[in-house]
Structure 1
Amino acid sequence: MSKVSCEIIKDMLPLYYDGVCSDDSKRMVEEHLSKCNACKIELEKIQDDIHIPEKTIMKNRKDSNVLKNISTSWNRLRLKSFIKGGLISTLLIASIILIYVGLFKWDIKSVSTDVAVISDISETEDGYIIFYSEINDGYRLSRLKYDMDREGNFYVIPLRTIIKEEAQPPYGLEKFYNFIDIKDQELLRGKEVKTIYYGTPKDKILIWQKGMELPKTSEEVKKQFGLN
């Protein structure tokens, strides 16, 4: 067999490495490699060029998985932080709203009878108890609560918010005539009304009790309620 040049062998080395050359070509390449170190080095380069990318691919896959895991963990932490932040913000806003309502809108604080004056108490022919109430501390009343205990004690309870507001004319509940329809209240509550108080069970002013004789209501006052 005539001597084959290194250039031809180098061209055939990739085919030889992949095992796709003919048997004759294989024997020719191997015979040349047994005598030529330069071509052996070229074959080794081909082997390294092929193996190195495989190692790189594996490393890249590993690095990619690590980055993917880091990204997944980060996204989970971000989601948890977002949910936690949302819950905290919601609770904070709800707390602020509740505090605001409790202080400025919720009528829960009863007014001391020390600043209350009850006058002009009278009774109509139909059993209405009418009286004039005045709160003289200069602050607004929000509403009147009507309550009754088991013993037949009826309470007219003046209420205001915790943060007091100044009363402005024309005055409403701070200075006005009010009436209690005893028969209607007894029918509504299913028990006899024995006394009527302005205030709470622990802080009260007596307005009327059963058997008490009261002056008859004037025509002028009855006219305010459309009772004449």
Structure 2
Amino acid sequence: MSKLSCEIIKDILPLYYDGVCSEDSKRMVEEHLLDCDSCKMELEKLKNEIHILERDIIENRKDSNVLKNISTSWKRLRLKSFIKGGIISALLIGVIILGYVGLFEWEIISVDTDIVKIREKSEMGDGKIVYYAEIDDKYSLNTLKYDMDNEGNFYMTPLRPIIKREAQPPYGLEKGYDYIDIKVQEEFRGKEIKKIYYGTPEDKILIWEKGMELPKTSEEVEKSFGFE
């Protein structure tokens, strides 16, 4: 067999290195490499180039994974920021709503009795106590809180929110007739009512007490309540 030239061997070296050449070609290459330093160097060069290529591929894969990890982390961060922002926004909205309710709707401030006038007290035939209340500070009133202590003192406490609204006709509880049904309240609370006050235990106006004689309520006033 004639000796193959280096050019032919160099053409075959990539196939030889990958192990895809025939057994005859493999044997010829190996016989040639025994005596040819140039082709040996070419094979080593080929090995180094392939090694570098494989290393670059691995590095590129690593870089790609890093980019994917960064992208995933960024998406997670954006999601967390979105959720956090949503929670903060909900809390702020809740605080605003609670603040509005607390200031304008939550009726917790009692009205001082020095601006309250109670007059025209009377009694219906069935024992209901009628009175005319007027609060002269020109602000509306929509809530009367009923309460009773163990001594039989019954309190009707006028309550307003922190920020008051100006009274507008038709007026509510700030100006007009009202009544208290003693029998219903006693049955509901299981106690005898001895005195009825407008206000709080510390700031009150006596409306009625047991044994007090009051004039009979007029038919006109009774009809205003829907009683006939």
DSSP 3-state at the match of 1:13? helix
**Taking structure 1 as reference, are residues 31 and 195 closer, same or farther at Cα in structure 2, changes over 3 Å only?**
same
Relative to the length of structure 1, the TM-score reads: 0.88
1:110 is displaced (CA, Å) by: 1.4
**Taking structure 1 as reference, are residues 23 and 154 closer, same or farther at Cα in structure 2, changes over 3 Å only?**
closer
Distance 1:121 1:202 in 2: 22
**Taking structure 1 as reference, are residues 45 and 104 closer, same or farther at Cα in structure 2, changes over 3 Å only?**
same
1:203 is displaced (CA, Å) by: 1.1
| Residue 184 (structure 1) aligned with residue 184 (structure 2) | yes
**Taking structure 1 as reference, are residues 196 and 54 closer, same or farther at Cα in structure 2, changes over 3 Å only?**
same
Contact 2:107 2:143 in 1 (8 A): yes
**Taking structure 1 as reference, are residues 25 and 170 closer, same or farther at Cα in structure 2, changes over 3 Å only?**
closer
DSSP 3-state at the match of 1:207? strand
Alignment match, 2:16:
16
Contact 1:142 1:161 in 2 (8 A): no
Contact 1:107 1:161 in 2 (8 A): yes
- What value does the CA root-mean-square deviation take over the aligned residues? 2.2
Distance 1:125 1:209 in 2: 17
- The farther-off stretch of 148-157 and 13-22 is 13-22
Alignment deviations for residues 17-61 of structure 1 (CA, whole Å, 9 cap, x no partner): 234545554453344345545433432332223212221222223
Alignment match, 2:105:
105
One-letter amino acid of the structure 1 residue matched with residue 197 of structure 2: Y
- The farther-off stretch of 115-124 and 68-77 is 68-77
Relative to the length of structure 2, the TM-score reads: 0.88
User: Which runs of 5 or more residues in structure 2 are unaligned?
Assistant: none
DSSP 3-state at the match of 1:170? coil
Alignment deviations for residues 89-111 of structure 1 (CA, whole Å, 9 cap, x no partner): 11111111001011111222211
How high is the sequence identity, in percent, across the aligned residues? 72
Contact 1:104 1:163 in 2 (8 A): yes
1:74 is displaced (CA, Å) by: 3.2
Alignment match, 1:123:
123
Distance 1:110 1:30 in 2: 108
Distance 2:19 2:220 in 1: 123
Contact 2:199 2:205 in 1 (8 A): yes
Q: How does 1:74-223 map to 2 (within 5 A)?
A: 74-223=74-223
Distance 1:227 1:74 in 2: 73
Distance 1:25 1:190 in 2: 115
1:12 is displaced (CA, Å) by: 2.1
1:63 is displaced (CA, Å) by: 2.5
Distance 1:163 1:203 in 2: 21
Distance 1:28 1:214 in 2: 135
One-letter amino acid of the structure 1 residue matched with residue 157 of structure 2: I
1:119 is displaced (CA, Å) by: 0.3
Distance 2:35 2:226 in 1: 132
DSSP 3-state at the match of 2:208? strand
- The farther-off stretch of 149-158 and 45-54 is 45-54
